[in-house]
Structures are given as C-alpha cells and as structure tokens.
Amino acid sequence: MSKKIQSALISVYYKDGLEPLVRLLHTNGVKLYSTGGTQTFIENLNIPVTAAEELTGYPSIFGGRVKTLHPAIMGGILYRRDDEGDVAQAAQYNIPAIDMVIVDLYPFEETVASGASEEDIIEKIDIGGISLIRATAKNFKDTLIVSSREQYAEVVELLTAKAGTTDLEDRRYYAGQAFGVSSHYDGAINRFFTADKTITDKALFDFTSLQSQTLRYGENPHQNATYYGDLEGIFEKLHGKELSYNNLVDVDACVNLIDEFQDAQPTFAIIKHTNACGIATAATAKAAYDNALACDPVSAFGGVVITNAKVDLATAEELNKLFMEILIAPEYEEEALQLLKSKKNRILLKRNTVELPQIMFKTILNGVLVQDKDLSTEVASQYTTVTEKAPTEQELTAMEFALKVCKHTKSNTIVLAKENQLLASGTGQTSRVDALRQAIEKANAFGFDLNGAVMASDAFFPFADCVEIAHKAGITAVVQPGGSIRDKDSVAYCDANGLSMVTTGIRHFKH
C-alpha cells in the first residue's frame, strides 16, 4: 500500500514553516493546487501552482466562505483508487486525483481569546478547511492529510526518507491526528456557543487539546502518560528537571490547598502524596516555613513545597537544607533564586495568576465522572455551637485553619491544629478512629503539646469515641459537619467534659 504523492492541495492560514515542505514536493515533481494567499505564497517561491478555481470553474465566493467545496476538489480527494466505478466517474467528470492535502484551520480560539466581536468570531468558524481535513482523513487508504503546521517538519522528514511515498500506516497515523484536530476545533466552537449553559453542557473533557506533553511515565515506570493543558500559562519554570505525572498530581494538590490561604499572612505548605504533611501561617515567610517543616520533617523529605509569599534569602537558606522535588512561589528574590538553583534537579516554579476550572473529571469504569469543584470554605461566622461551652476566639481561628487543611486531605481524615499550624493529621483511613489515633501518634512523635489544640473532621462522628479519645489527648475544641443520628452522644460527652463543639453542616469527603 505504498503510494507516491503526485498531486497536492495546499490551503493554509499560517504560512510559517511551510516553505521547506512546498519545495520538497516541487522537487519530487508533485503537481500543486492552491487557493488565495497560499497560492500567492507558492508563486513567490517561483514554484508553479494551479489555482483551485481552475478545477472548480468558480472563483472564491461569498467573502471567501466558499472556495474548495466543489466535487472537482472533494471528489479528487474522496474517490477510491481501487474502485472501478469511482475511477470511471472521476474520468467521466474530469476530476483529477488529489493525493495529499495540507490545510490548517482559521484561528477560532485565538479570535475568541482576543475579545473580538461575535461577527468576527463567527467568520473564523472554518467550513472548507474542516471539510478538507475530514475528507482526506476518511480516504486515508489513498490520501495523506497534513492538518497542522506543527506537522510540517516531520512530514518533510518522512517524505525525504521515503522518496515522496507514504505507507498505509503513515496515512492512517496522520488521519488519526487529523480527526483529533477536528474534534478539538469543534469542541472549542461548542464551548463558545454553550458558555452560559449548565455544567453538563460545558464540561467537555477535551483530551484532544493540541497543548499536550508526553511525560516520562505515569504513576509507575511501566505506565505511559501525557498531560493535556497549558502548564506554561500557570507556571514559569525557572529551574530543574521536567515535571513527572506524580509531580503534577502533587502540584495540583499544592495549588488547591494554598489557594485557601491567598488572603492570609505568609503561608507554607509541604505536600507528600497529595496530603499536607506540614502547613503553617506566620508573620514572615521564614517563620511559616519553619513551622510547616516542624509538623513532620520526616515526611517532608522529597515533598513538594508551595507558598503564597515571596521567597526571600533568609527563607531560601532554610529551604535549601531540605531535599524537595518542587518549590512553587509567586515571587523569588534574586539572591534566593540563585541559592535555590544550586541543586541541579530541584524544580523551581513561579506561579502566574490564572483562573482555574471549577469542574473536575475522573475516569471510572468505562466512563467519566464530572462534578463541581469543592469551593465551600466555612468560617467562624457560619459555625453553629452545639455545646454548652462556646469556643474561644483563639480556638475559632484554629478551627478555620484546620478546616481548610481538612478539606484538602484524603478521607477519612482528622486534622489537629493550634495557632495557625498543623500539628498532625490522620489521612486516608478506613476508620475515623484510626485517623484520629494516627494524628495523635504523629503529633506526639514530633513533640507537639496537644493541650488546647482543636480537632477538625471531614465528616460527622457516628459515635462519641473520637471526642473521648481527643479529649484524653488534650484537645479542647472540635469542628465537624454534624448530621449523625448520634450527634447527641458526642455533644453530651463534650458537655460532660468541658469541650466546645461546633458544626458546619458541610461535609468535605475527598476520595
């Protein structure tokens, strides 16, 4: 199924990178057809080209809306070379074979992003180009489709190596790429027309995005992985190796957690396997980092660190002592940056101000789950005190801090906090009692005094056992969603032992 390219239709919006491919086709004796500006571009290279109008007998009409939509062109692409009837009809109607099509699409997304008028946006919905792409890709047994300027260099390499011929596998590959281009393009148009609709209408999992990068591997070396999205739009990479799949998962957890503290004093969080092993807020960046690291310096090894504050030299000197995979900050002092670059593989990211999606996707079974992002963050004014004793102002502040961490920690989770510092958390346990015991054990292991600390839970307490265990460890105040049919048991224990408890009415499971 090897075929030599003898004719090609070229009709592109962007001309950059096109010249080497056009010259190669000409050198190989390929007859060229073209339209409008592309025709002029080829003629300026002193390469012969036939206007598409000579095939169709029609000029470009309706302001350029119709140029290539004609049987002489679409038929030349679509007729099957091994079908006697198709071959006979092509001869009967004098339709020449078109073996290759090079086409890109009007810049619809760029036009939308520019803030152009709706009239201008509509005119950038490509009709002829998308039809050429689909037709050529459909007839991949006979035709080669080049659907993106990003493919020009590799196609030049391919045709040079194979002396102007392609194999069936080549043509099938580029057909698949082409349908990815058309799918992404139609998805962008759909999003434009449904931007004011409900989540169900607009939550399109657009894995065909042209902005993608192949990762070294997935969660484990035997798994392939690709990231689809605009990382450069979110971060400026200042130093270090390439981000891995696991790095990106942790970075996502970091960003979502630190965003809870955007309006707070300097805050540092250290993430390990998507959970916070340390987080603290303080008057200075250095104090915040020192307090965050103190939470669990063992787990912090090899973690991902993020802050809402500018990294100064004093803070960088402490950070530089830790082996960490990634550091993310909105700003770096130049001296701090140079010091942190002393570790070759350490990834340093400067975070840009970018609005993140408010919907989430998760693949399960043979489908995809879509849900709203958890945007609820309860503050003291929303709490309901359910015990005889009300929490102090200091305890309320600690509750707010603990809940923010709790919300971004895997369930079942318990978070223990005091004075804007995480003391310990129990994460991802199958029992809430186990989560609490894990948190207490870790707090004790790192020398924290739990007397006067608060406890936050991501879901209600089905029994009074957790508040009893917490009380015996020194906890004095509890914040939880409430809603258990046995809430009264936990409240009664608190009242009998001088603890305060508030409920929020909002659960924060994270699976």
Instruction: Tell me the DSSP string of 340-398.
Output: HTTSTT-EEEEEP--PPPSEEEEEETTEEEEEE-------GGG-EE-SSSPPPHHHHHH
List, in sequence order, every residue forming a beta bridge with 101; answer none if it has no partner.
9, 145
Cβ atoms of 129 and 104 within 8 Å: the answer is: yes
Asked if 143 and 120 count as a contact pair (C-beta separation under 8 A), the reply is no
Give the pLDDT of residue 209.
Answer: 52
36 φ/ψ sector (left φ>0, alpha ψ -120 to 50, else beta): left
pLDDT of residue 109: 87
Cα angle 368, 173, 111 (rounded to 5 degrees) comes to 65
**Catalytic residue chosen out of the listed positions 141, 237, 273, 343:** 273
Q: Nearest Cα to 81, choosing from 65, 69, 71, 96?
A: 96
Given this model, what pLDDT does residue 264 score? 87
Identify the helix (H) or strand (E) that includes residue 333: none
Peptide bond into 412 cis (omega under 30): yes
Asked if residues 318 and 290 have their Cβ atoms less than 8 Å apart, the reply is: yes
By CB atoms closer than 10 A (0-12, 13-18, 19+), residue 165 is: middle
- pLDDT at site 59: 81
Contact assessment for residue 266 and residue 285, using Cβ atoms and an 8 Å cutoff: yes
Whether residue 370 contacts residue 359, with contact meaning beta carbons closer than 8 Å, is answered with yes
DSSP 498: T
Each residue of 8-38: b (16+ CB within 10 Å) or e? bbbbbeebeebeebbebbbebebbbbbbeeb
Selected catalytic residue, list 15, 138, 343, 350: 138
3-class state of residue 174 by DSSP: helix
Q: Which of 250, 253, 329, 255 has its CA nearest to residue 289?
A: 329
- Residue 171 is encoded by which pair of tokens? 């043509």
Integer-rounded Cα radius of gyration of the chain: 31
| DSSP 8-state assignment for residue 410 | P
What pLDDT does residue 137 have? 96
DSSP bridge pairs for 418: 421
CA distance 31 to 299: 65
Q: Hey, how many other C-beta atoms are within 10 angstroms of the C-beta on 216?
A: 13
pLDDT tens per residue across span 442-467: 999 999 999 999 999 999 999 999 99
Instruction: Determine the pLDDT at residue 68.
Output: 81
What is the per-residue pLDDT for 57? Answer: 81
**What pLDDT does residue 196 have?**
52
Confidence at residue 207, expressed as pLDDT on a 0 to 100 scale? 58
Residue 148 near residue 183 (C-beta atoms within 8 A) = no
Please tell me the predicted confidence (pLDDT) of residue 203: 39
At residue 201, the pLDDT reads: 38
Residue 418: active-site member:
no
Contact 435, 429 (CB under 8 A): yes
Number of residues assigned to the chain: 511
What does pTM read for this prediction? 0.76
Stretch (H or E) spanning 329 = strand 324-329
Q: Is 138 a catalytic residue?
A: yes
Name, in order, each residue with C-beta under 8 angstroms of 364's C-beta and a sequence gap of 6 or more: none
Distance (Å, whole) CA 428 – CA 199 = 29
**pLDDT < 70 positions in the chain:** 195-210
Rounded Cα distance, 137 and 143, in Å: 7
**459: its two tokens:** 């879901």
